[in-house]
Structure 1
Amino acid sequence: MVHFSGELLPLVAALVAAGGVAGFMAGLFGIGGGAILVPVLLSVLIPAGVDPSIAMHVSVATSLGVIVPTSLRSFFAHRARGAVDHQLLTSWALAVPAGVMLASWVASWISGDGLKLVFMGIAFMVAMRMLFNRESWRLGDDIPGNPLRTLIGVCIGFFSTLMGIGGGVMTNTFMTLFNRSIHQAVATSSGVGVLISIPGVIGMMIAGWGDPDLPPLSVGYVNLLAVLIIIPLSIAMAPVGAKVAHFMKRRHLEIAFGIFLLVVCARFAYSLL
């Protein structure tokens, strides 16, 4: 357990490093959210003294807390440009949060290793998409109707919450495979991030309520100290990463992000041995 006396400073220093690294990498790869933040947070929380049994829970929940303001800001910006598919978003207004709340219940009893396995499984599939994706790949000419659409919304909410991500990669993949433009997919994903992050934060607060091993300034599994430190640092560092990205080709960035995810999967797998 992390105590206020003497041990809070290392935690703050670790969170400062996590915020800067996550922001830079989000800007570099053009993908925000937990796909980057969760492994970065996990790599600094345990050395800072957070109990290993809940470090993954705190990383996932805190990542969702960071996503709330960024997804809201992104959604309103995309909506102002008229790029959001409101019909799809409205059809998921109950399905995605239902998946989120189901995941929050699962998070209340699943182990940290179990969360790592979920993250590894989805991250590996995303890595394969990044490494071998072709824009010509299609599963259909338009997004399917119910009940398949509702089921997909529930799954996106469920797995995104357990990973601590805003659902952008999953939503982008789903929409582009069904003949939607990447611009509309990205815009709509920002709205899905709102549907995931807000109920996700509430659910993870409830799931971790009263855990004796939580780090200081935590409400359930969400560490408010981390959220307050990481948000401004990630916003400040993201443009630096984006500037570096301009010197690289898009395909090279996709490959680099795929390799990054495979490295994360390998590290998580090693930690489970």
Structure 2
Amino acid sequence: MFLTDIAILLVCGACAGFLAGLLGIGGGMILVPFMIIVFNHQGFSQDIIVHMAIATGMTTILFTSLSAIRAHHRHGSIDWKLVAGFTPGIIVGSFLGGSELFEAFNTGWLSLFFAVFIVYTSIQMFINKKPKPERELPGKVGLFSYGAFSGGLSSLLGAGGAFVTVPFMIWCNVSPHVAMATSSGLGFPIALASTLGYVFGSFGRPDLPAGSFGFIYLPAVACIVATSIFTAPLGAKLARKLNVVQLKRVFGVMLMFLALFMFNEAHKALGA
């Protein structure tokens, strides 16, 4: 890789790790647009460039989430019973999404799908609607079903799942700080099952560049993880001190700009 590409990935890794600790997100939504820029610079095939960016971004969450989990667990913020309830469904949904559905989407539609959900996530960042006080979390079947939905959707987007799990937990009257910390705990099984799915679904393709393991570009993973594992604990520490609602709104504005980039990528790929 060129030095400029390495520098971009190192900075993005630092930002993604910080946001993972601060807001419970995996960082994929931040990383994917910038990795597309880097991979274009590297001359990767346009047929797989978005797939590789999403799969590589998800793989980094394996490491970032562990760093964030450690920081949140140290302060007792994670609801591990809730993590256990979601995880079986998450594993099933993430693996199937990463292996069966992921490769079925062409670059244009995958870019469009990604952009739409960035917009959805940014809107969620602005909304601070209070749930009905009598609403509770569902039982085992409900948690499994929603976990499978979250895992499948996350594997298609390269995201850690917080964009669907955090609003759902808050909607069920889980406190925002616990919901965000718990979403860090959910990020690891989502990333693990999705990564295995990406490799299973794409291993041996002849159009993959050197340094790839399936759709995962290992040099980019190394650059991102090199900084993200150090900034994730900083974000988790700051999350207990700052007004998270205001931070979420700032992050929502940033996501809107990233959505515009991905809409443009979809427009170019689809030739609309």
**Could you tell me which residue of structure 2 aligns to residue 108 of structure 1?**
103
- Alpha-carbon distance in structure 2 between the residues aligned to 1:168 and 1:125: 12
Counterpart check, 1:82 vs 2:76: yes
- Alpha-carbon distance in structure 1 between the residues aligned to 2:220 and 2:162: 22
Counterpart check, 1:128 vs 2:111: no
**CA deviation vs aligned residue, 1:127-168 (integer Å, no higher than 9, x gap):** 11112x115244853112253322211111011111111112
Q: Note if contact 2:17-2:227 (Cα within 8 Å) is conserved in structure 1.
A: no
Secondary structure at the counterpart of residue 42 of structure 2 = coil
Q: Note if contact 2:16-2:27 (Cα within 8 Å) is conserved in structure 1.
A: no
Q: How many residues align?
A: 262
With structure 2 as the length reference, what TM-score do the two structures score?
0.84
- Alpha-carbon distance in structure 1 between the residues aligned to 2:232 and 2:72: 19
Secondary structure at the counterpart of residue 216 of structure 1 = coil
**Per the alignment, do residues 220 and 140 of structure 1 end up closer, same or farther by CA in structure 2, a change over 3 Å counting?**
farther
**Per the alignment, do residues 120 and 180 of structure 1 end up closer, same or farther by CA in structure 2, a change over 3 Å counting?**
same
- Alpha-carbon distance in structure 2 between the residues aligned to 1:85 and 1:239: 18
Deviation at 1:27, TM superposition (A): 3.0
- Structure 1: state its 5+ residue gaps: 1-8
- Alpha-carbon distance in structure 1 between the residues aligned to 2:71 and 2:190: 18
Deviation at 1:96, TM superposition (A): 0.5
**Structure 2 residue aligned with 1:66, among 60, 64, 80?**
60
**Could you tell me which residue of structure 1 aligns to residue 259 of structure 2?**
265
Q: Note if contact 1:23-1:241 (Cα within 8 Å) is conserved in structure 2.
A: no
- Alpha-carbon distance in structure 1 between the residues aligned to 2:91 and 2:150: 10
Counterpart check, 1:203 vs 2:197: yes
Deviation at 1:57, TM superposition (A): 0.8
**Could you tell me which residue of structure 1 aligns to residue 14 of structure 2?**
23
**Could you tell me which residue of structure 2 aligns to residue 191 of structure 1?**
185
State the identity as a percent.
Answer: 29
- Alpha-carbon distance in structure 2 between the residues aligned to 1:250 and 1:24: 16
**Per the alignment, do residues 14 and 257 of structure 1 end up closer, same or farther by CA in structure 2, a change over 3 Å counting?**
same
**Per the alignment, do residues 25 and 171 of structure 1 end up closer, same or farther by CA in structure 2, a change over 3 Å counting?**
same
With structure 1 as the length reference, what TM-score do the two structures score?
0.84
